[in-house]
Structure 1
Amino acid sequence: MQQTVSVSNKPRTALAVAGLSLGTALNPLNSSMIAVALVVLRADFGLDVAAVTWVVTSFYLASAAGQPVMGRLADRFGPRRMFMLGMALVAATCALAPFAPNFALLCVARAVMALGTATAYPSAVVMVGAIAHRANVEPARPLGILQMANTSAAAVGPVAGGLLVGFVGWEALFLVNIPLALAALLIVRQAAPADKARERGSVAELLRDSDIPGILGFITALLLVMMAALNVLPGYRWWMLGAGTAAAALFAWRELRFARPFLDLRLLGRNRPLMLIYVAFAVFSSVYYFVFFGLPQLLQEAGGYEPGVVGLLMLPLAGMSVLATPWAVKAMGRFGVRRVLVAGVMLLTAAAALMWLLTGTLAIPLVVVLTALMGIPYGTVGIATNQGMFVSIRPQERGVAAGIYQTCRYVGAITATVMIGVFAGGGVDQESWARMVLAMLVLCVVTFAVSLLWRQRTE
């Protein structure tokens, strides 16, 4: 009987996962597409290099701060409802953004769009449990598809963005999101499981139990620390870091005393597997973004390759990660999450060590082989940490847990960006790349140690 239900639900389940994958892909797609539009935006709005980067920074900051908040809302009020609300917000914002009269409002539109896309991943993770149960499959399978969608979107973003900007203009980077967001909304509305009963009560009660001060404290602390790390306001960097640290301390004090905290710090402190997964994913992301951000600069500055060629040379990374993900899903079913995670980190260490070869030559065949090799551990570790997060948390807390998980990705990306600036302040050449490879290997060792400590929860 159970098998009959699974077969009859198979098309609907596949459609639901497709809609969720499309929605979750919008955040990484838009975070990478914009890179090719910076020169055009500078010319259209009369900006300098420092000012134009705010169109990127605003999206990163809003995404990093918004993911846990949107995950918390998905836990409380229903993931399907929040997913559709986020997609509607993306469609509406992207319809208005091309008409922004100045660059400041364009950055605001990017931030609002980031908040809309930030609802997708945590909401999808919450829905995965119900979808997997309905289809009688392991949650790792739909999680793997979400992982492949995110990886592919981030990789094709610069290529797609280049075509859109070249043939239409920067406005197309917003307009293309409208049909994609509406399609994701309609598919999920039709095929995803309905939400359970939402929280009820007066508006005053809902606001009181929402821990608004805690949410604001979290956002303030995270934004200030991230802005200090990115050095977006050079004259105020240390002031922002100090203010961010103070805000974080006040946030922790508040959360430890509130009956229904936005972020249950005591629970996180007791949940050692979840904390280890967060640390492993953040450090692993630093290694990945060293390659994702550093290697294109090396190929352009030291190798003299054109940007279009560099984009193509980075595609094997995404292609191999997509191919490695379903293999990792099958391996987790046979060997368990921990063994696959440890094996993935070992592969990551080997791939990072081989990156040393680029200090001697930047020949295209070698670059293609190395980027493809880096894609294997990226797909493997990515889905293993994703599944590790999923099994380390209670179902009613998966939304906020998934949001924090995504924030760890941005922490890793920003860490890599800052370290690249430290090791290659005068430009990325083969000498500075050697220092970056050593830093990647140190980070790999940390990730390996954390992975060995991780154990799946048994309660």
Structure 2
Amino acid sequence: MSRTPDAPARHHARWVVAALCTGTLLSAMNSGMIAVSLSTLRREFAVDVATVTWVISVYYLASAVLQPIMGRLADRYGPRRVFAFGMWTVALAGALGPFAPDLAVLCAVRVLLAVGTATAFPSAAAMLRAVAAADGGNATKMIGRIQLVDTTSAAIGPVLGGALIVAFGWPGIFWINVPLAALALVSTGLLAPRDAPRAHVPLRRTLAESDLPGIGLFVVAIATLIGFLLELADDPPWLLLPVAVIAGGLFAWRELRAATPFIDLRLLAANLPLVRVYVLFILANLVFYGALFGIPQYLEDHAGYRTDVIGLLLLPLAAFNVVTAPLVERLIDRRGLRRALVVGLAALTAGTLALPLLGGSTAAWTVLAATAALGIPYVFVLVSITQSLYVAAAGQHVGQAAGLFQTARCLGCIGASVVVGLAFSGGTGPSDWVLLAIVTVALSLTTLVVAIAWRPRPVG
């Protein structure tokens, strides 16, 4: 039997997706690796839980700022070129990280790492539009598979990170970025579509149009809010709260008046379904990453598990992705996106009810059951929300929309790190864990209520 004409095109598209995944997975994988290193870093640099949390927060704050910018750069200068720049930057950060003398320098290296990883997802999203147009296939499903691989790597990250820490110490989680970035450069260089010709735009003009005042106000608002919240349980720096509020208000004022805003609030106001996607993604990541950042510290400090064993115990967070994802796509095809999302969030809320059980038992089987109860339904949520992004986003704004999608993820991760820091401010014992688990259940229930109750229609 002869091969159908579009079979080679579909085959090529699968290889392009695989190549792009080698770069897009680096952000989530580094999140997983840093999650199992927090207790080690606390001992290495003699800091408390709230202080070490900045290793997470600065990375995601930088990513939140850079994701939409990288989306614009990909649209303007070519996604393949921006993707390659990002991978070179990741390799540089991986080489510098092991030599950090203190936590402040390590945080600076994490910011550099964020510069590199922030290029990957928006560049990949833009390239997949070109792949779908040239080779056939469904760009929405292809980007959904990339997002799925990214989440899988967030759970594989602890396994890899735990093994590297045991073998080489905490520097190992930075060294590994060098060969991984090299793999991404080679694979995308061979397989990714070349950038279409574009009109030359000087970088100086692009920077001038990047709304640096808006970016600065955004950073000040988020950073001061994080600083206030992390110290809330001890001696809150009350002066930071009005600074955060004023900076946030000025940011909104600036964005509504800027010719090229950092975050186009007017565009979001005109597309409420897209806003709903971002809100739900923030809340869902609060739940998932709250567990990912909290469980390793609790198990290492309270139960005395080694980091490599903890990594294995976290594996069920994504072990069922390959099996579950096709079921989710079939459910979406038959019942629609909203039905799949609500089913996933209901199951996720039920799964979070297993987390408080770890306060009474940290036996391996209990941890495995709890992480599986969280990981399996999260696949439903992730695939549904990712596909919802491409349904809600206008085609000409796909790069920017994908960048803002990752910004939403970063804000959820920042929120999760703050929640963990507050819950563990008095220690990492069973009562502290139960507090974190109860907050996680409440956040999951909130996400489900928002998904059911909020059904926006586009304005106009």
For the criterion TM > 0.5, the same-fold answer is yes
Compared with structure 1, are the counterparts of its residues 84 and 235 closer, same or farther at alpha carbon in structure 2 (3 Å cutoff)?
Answer: farther
2:179 match: 179
- Pair 1:229 & 2:236 matched: no
- Pair 1:309 & 2:309 matched: yes
Once the two structures are TM-superposed, the CA of residue 307 in structure 1 deviates from its matched residue by 4.2
2:395 match: 395
Query: 2: CA distance between counterparts of 1:442 and 1:158?
Result: 25
Once the two structures are TM-superposed, the CA of residue 119 in structure 1 deviates from its matched residue by 0.9
- Kindly indicate whether the alpha-carbon contact (under 8 Å) linking 1:338 and 1:454 is maintained by their aligned counterparts in 2: no
Once the two structures are TM-superposed, the CA of residue 99 in structure 1 deviates from its matched residue by 4.7
Compared with structure 1, are the counterparts of its residues 293 and 211 closer, same or farther at alpha carbon in structure 2 (3 Å cutoff)?
Answer: closer
1:133-282 residue pairs with structure 2 within 5 A?
Answer: 133-201=133-201, 205-231=205-231, 237-282=237-282
1:294 match: 294
1:81 match: 81
Once the two structures are TM-superposed, the CA of residue 358 in structure 1 deviates from its matched residue by 4.3
Once the two structures are TM-superposed, the CA of residue 428 in structure 1 deviates from its matched residue by 4.6
Give the counterpart letter for 2:240 in structure 1: M
Compared with structure 1, are the counterparts of its residues 111 and 337 closer, same or farther at alpha carbon in structure 2 (3 Å cutoff)?
Answer: same
Query: 1: CA distance between counterparts of 2:300 and 2:174?
Result: 28
Moved more, 230-239 or 116-125: 230-239
Once the two structures are TM-superposed, the CA of residue 423 in structure 1 deviates from its matched residue by 4.6
Moved more, 399-408 or 261-270: 399-408
Give CA-to-partner distance per residue, 1:366-390, whole Å, 9 cap, x none.
Answer: 4322321211111110111111112
Provide the TM-score with structure 1 as the length reference.
0.87
- Kindly indicate whether the alpha-carbon contact (under 8 Å) linking 2:35 and 2:292 is maintained by their aligned counterparts in 1: no
- Kindly indicate whether the alpha-carbon contact (under 8 Å) linking 2:426 and 2:432 is maintained by their aligned counterparts in 1: no
Query: 1: CA distance between counterparts of 2:135 and 2:388?
Result: 21
Secondary structure at 2:20 match in 1? helix
- Kindly indicate whether the alpha-carbon contact (under 8 Å) linking 1:23 and 1:120 is maintained by their aligned counterparts in 2: yes
Once the two structures are TM-superposed, the CA of residue 298 in structure 1 deviates from its matched residue by 4.6
Query: 2: CA distance between counterparts of 1:74 and 1:228?
Result: 35
Query: 1: CA distance between counterparts of 2:174 and 2:369?
Result: 34
1:33 match: 33
1:330-369 residue pairs with structure 2 within 5 A?
Answer: 330-358=330-358, 360-369=360-369
Compared with structure 1, are the counterparts of its residues 156 and 401 closer, same or farther at alpha carbon in structure 2 (3 Å cutoff)?
Answer: same
1:410 match: 410
- Kindly indicate whether the alpha-carbon contact (under 8 Å) linking 1:144 and 1:329 is maintained by their aligned counterparts in 2: no
Compared with structure 1, are the counterparts of its residues 275 and 317 closer, same or farther at alpha carbon in structure 2 (3 Å cutoff)?
Answer: same
Compared with structure 1, are the counterparts of its residues 118 and 237 closer, same or farther at alpha carbon in structure 2 (3 Å cutoff)?
Answer: farther
Query: 2: CA distance between counterparts of 1:172 and 1:403?
Result: 29
Compared with structure 1, are the counterparts of its residues 306 and 150 closer, same or farther at alpha carbon in structure 2 (3 Å cutoff)?
Answer: same
Once the two structures are TM-superposed, the CA of residue 70 in structure 1 deviates from its matched residue by 1.8
Say how many residue pairs are matched.
Answer: 456
Moved more, 425-434 or 182-191: 425-434
Moved more, 189-198 or 344-353: 189-198
Give identity over the alignment, percent: 41
Compared with structure 1, are the counterparts of its residues 192 and 4 closer, same or farther at alpha carbon in structure 2 (3 Å cutoff)?
Answer: farther
Secondary structure at 2:238 match in 1? helix
Query: 1: CA distance between counterparts of 2:169 and 2:440?
Result: 37
Give the counterpart letter for 2:130 in structure 1: A
Give CA-to-partner distance per residue, 1:113-160, whole Å, 9 cap, x none.
Answer: 111111111222222322233342223432232123212222122322
Gaps of 5+ in 1: none
Query: 1: CA distance between counterparts of 2:102 and 2:367?
Result: 40
Secondary structure at 1:16 match in 2? helix
Query: 2: CA distance between counterparts of 1:208 and 1:450?
Result: 38
- Pair 1:69 & 2:75 matched: no
- Kindly indicate whether the alpha-carbon contact (under 8 Å) linking 1:303 and 1:362 is maintained by their aligned counterparts in 2: yes
Once the two structures are TM-superposed, the CA of residue 433 in structure 1 deviates from its matched residue by 4.6
- Kindly indicate whether the alpha-carbon contact (under 8 Å) linking 1:79 and 1:195 is maintained by their aligned counterparts in 2: yes
Query: 2: CA distance between counterparts of 1:102 and 1:364?
Result: 34
- Kindly indicate whether the alpha-carbon contact (under 8 Å) linking 1:338 and 1:455 is maintained by their aligned counterparts in 2: no
Query: 1: CA distance between counterparts of 2:434 and 2:110?
Result: 35
Give CA-to-partner distance per residue, 1:40-90, whole Å, 9 cap, x none.
Answer: 66777x644466555444323322322222223223332222111111211
Provide the TM-score with structure 2 as the length reference.
0.87
Secondary structure at 1:153 match in 2? helix
Query: 2: CA distance between counterparts of 1:291 and 1:43?
Result: 21
Gaps of 5+ in 2: none
